[in-house]
Amino acid sequence: MSIAEHIKKSLVTPTQLVNVYLSDLSDDDLLLKPAEGINPINWQVGHLIASEHQLIEAIAPGSMPALPEGFTEIYDRKNSSGDDTSAFLPKEELVKLMNEQREGTLAVLAKMSDEDLMKPGPEQLQQIGETVGSIFAMQGTHWTMHAGQWVIVRRQQGKPVLI
């Protein structure tokens, strides 16, 4: 099995986890913060989408589906407090963008050879991953880390345990 196939398989569970955790949350639920000092779920999902887009674009410029105009600014860290949620996108749009970006990531990954994936990652991303492959692989970890925070809101809102 190639490195790309291993990475692709490692993204399956985090993608399923995220989709399951978001499945029965409303737009209002996504505006809730799991705890004081933690960003609202909506912002976290937007941040994850923007992050995946930017990281894969750094590896393969021009390869990812476009994000809506202003999206990256809305979900930038400087707006992470979530105190002003008026610009946040509805859940339906976020899920659509999330799936488009993941499909884009997988399309770029499918074109990568083992040699490509073992090359050093872009210099500006060395703190995230030393190799191109490690930058792809960290997508699953990043999404899973944030999804773990959403369980708190799920429990607070009386949602069922799904996993």
Q: Backbone dihedral region of 79: left (phi > 0), alpha (psi from -120 to 50 degrees) or beta?
A: alpha
Nearest to 163 by CA among 19, 39, 11, 9: 19
| Domains of the chain and any CATH numbers | 3-156 (1.20.120.450)
User: For position 57, what pLDDT does the model report?
Assistant: 98
User: For position 80, what pLDDT does the model report?
Assistant: 74
User: For position 83, what pLDDT does the model report?
Assistant: 76
User: For position 153, what pLDDT does the model report?
Assistant: 96
Cα gap 9→5, rounded to integer Å: 6
**Which DSSP letter does residue 121 get?**
P
The pTM score is: 0.95
- pLDDT under 50 in the chain at which residues? none
